[in-house]
Amino acid sequence: MEAQAQVPVSDADPTPPADTSDPAAEIAIDARRISKVYRGEDEVRALDNVSVTIARNEFFTLLGPSGCGKTTLLRVIAGFEPPTAGTLWLNGKDITRLPPNRRPVNTVFQSYALFPHMSVANNIRFGLEMLGKPKKQIDEIVDEMLNLVQMQAMKSRRTSEISGGQQQRVALARALAPEPEVLLLDEPLSALDLKLRKEMQIELKRLQHETGITFVFVTHDQEEALTMSDRIAVMSAGRILQIGSPQEIYQRPAERFVANFIGESNFLDATLSGNAVTFRTGGTYEVERPADVEDGAVSVLLRPEHAILSSDPSALPATVETVVYSGEATSIHTRLDSGEALKVRVPNAPHSGGLPEQGAPVRIGFAPGALTVLKD
């Protein structure tokens, strides 16, 4: 804890969140220009001027590679890390300086952090007892939670006597029992095997729907983020690069980093002029022009599954380098005449055949709207 220097909040904004006039369009979390700097031998800027609003009852995901600041932001919301600068609002109240035990926010920890000396039921009871609820009500809630996560049969077991997936459920039930206004989940599925992870993804969506609690979910798994989230914030190097629905993030990534991090991508060098781009290998195509990009050299994103092998003479000429079969689809790695690599993903038909062989010349086309111009 010594490494954190506390700097007075310089640009604190005393006004409550903008939308107080309309309580229906409710904002649960409003983080304003949050920075977190670890002062040590070398200064680490874990969060750099991050602003984000999370709506009530939203499944919001913080997505990014390790070290991008997503867990730090989660810990700032939980109250474990005081921000170096910025303010944090929860349902219209400034909670920046509130200690974690006074925030109506609960966390599902990556390692679960279940109390090893207590039974499953006593783990779930803990938060309720600390809140000083009457015993009868606690018993009811614990029962309800055990049912919700289907752990009724295990309630008197020690947490060391149950499997990882079951521990996960107990951790969830323990965090949900006090009915927090926001539930924070720190990569809760990363320790589970693939099959269990898929089940829990659906389970979490169900729980979020049933409880109506705002979920803030941290993950580095882009597929998990796309599957579960209402909205995603993609983070890198302590900043939020883009916030949007899974569709927006996937189909219209704002930056090359986002496009690269989510899904498979082809990046082609091109020159932007008006509403059209011209590739190095030739060919000019209409694009949707982003507001903040100037004419000149740009990167253009083309998802492999949006590219097609074409016989159209205006399509991009290329040579096949490798053909990789992967069950439901085949990836064809090609090289354009400009020397740029381009991957095409073709869904496999029941009687697939007629795929080009290595070294064969092909032409690559794409549907209108498949190209996205990126800010670099």
Partner 1 sequence: MDLPEDAGQLEAEAVRRDTRDRWLMSVPALMIIFLAAAGPLLVMVIYSFLTPGDYSGVKWEFSTNAWSSILVQRDIFDDTLQWADAHLTIFWRSVSLSIITTVLTLAFGLPTAWFISTRPPGKREFWLFLMTVPSWTNLLVRTIAIQELIRAEGVINNVLIFVGIIDEPMQMMFTNFAIGFGMTYVYLPLMVLPIYAAVEKLDVRLLEACYDLYASRWHAFTRVILPLIKPGIIAGSILVFVPCLGAYVVPRVLGGGKNLMFGNLIELQFGAGRNWPLGAALSFLLMVIVMIALIYYIRITSQERKDG
Binding site for partner 1 (CB under 8 A): 78-80, 99-102, 105-107, 109, 111, 113-118, 122, 126-127, 130-131, 174-175, 178
Residue 223 is inside which H or E element, if any? Answer: helix 222-228
* Nearest alpha-carbon partner for 37 in 88, 72, 62: 72
Least separation in angstroms between residue 129's CB and partner 1 is 8
Cβ-proximal residues to 57 (8 Å cutoff; 6+ apart), any chain: 28, 212, 213, 214
Least separation in angstroms between residue 138's CB and partner 1 is 13
Least separation in angstroms between residue 357's CB and partner 1 is 48
Contact 60, 244 (CB under 8 A): no
**Pairing mode, if any, of strands 27-38 and 316-325?**
unpaired
Which of residues 108 and 259 has its CB atom nearest to partner 1 in the complex? 108
Which whole-number Å values give the CA distances from 14 to 9, 26, 89, 236, 370, in the listed order?
Answer: 11, 19, 11, 29, 44
Which whole-number Å values give the CA distances from 338 to 7, 26, 149, in the listed order?
Answer: 52, 51, 56
Least separation in angstroms between residue 80's CB and partner 1 is 6
Which of residues 2 and 22 has its CB atom nearest to partner 1 in the complex? 2
Which of residues 91 and 122 has its CB atom nearest to partner 1 in the complex? 122
> Which tokens sit at 286?
């209409």
Least separation in angstroms between residue 108's CB and partner 1 is 10
Which of residues 118 and 329 has its CB atom nearest to partner 1 in the complex? 118
Which of residues 186 and 371 has its CB atom nearest to partner 1 in the complex? 186
Q: DSSP state, 256? A: H
Give all strands of the β-sheet with 266-273 in edge-to-edge order.
Answer: 284-286, 276-279, 266-273, 296-302, 371-374
Strand partners, 325: 330
Least separation in angstroms between residue 35's CB and partner 1 is 22
Least separation in angstroms between residue 3's CB and partner 1 is 10
* Total Cβ atoms within 10 A of residue 301: 22
* Sequence-separated contacts (24+) of 283-288 with Cβ below 8 Å: 283/314, 283/315, 283/316, 285/371, 286/368, 287/371, 287/372, 287/373, 288/369, 288/372, 288/373
Strand partners, 151: none
Cβ-proximal residues to 201 (8 Å cutoff; 6+ apart), any chain: 189, 224, 227, 228
Which of residues 77 and 189 has its CB atom nearest to partner 1 in the complex? 77
Which of residues 132 and 354 has its CB atom nearest to partner 1 in the complex? 132
Which whole-number Å values give the CA distances from 298 to 222, 257, 272, in the listed order?
Answer: 25, 14, 6
Which of residues 106 and 222 has its CB atom nearest to partner 1 in the complex? 106
d(CA 68, CA 63): 9
Least separation in angstroms between residue 182's CB and partner 1 is 12
Least separation in angstroms between residue 175's CB and partner 1 is 8
- Classified as helix, coil or strand, 189 is coil
- Burial (Cβ within 10 Å: 0-12, 13-18, ≥19) of residue 60: buried
Which of residues 131 and 202 has its CB atom nearest to partner 1 in the complex? 131
Least separation in angstroms between residue 320's CB and partner 1 is 48
Which of residues 6 and 101 has its CB atom nearest to partner 1 in the complex? 101
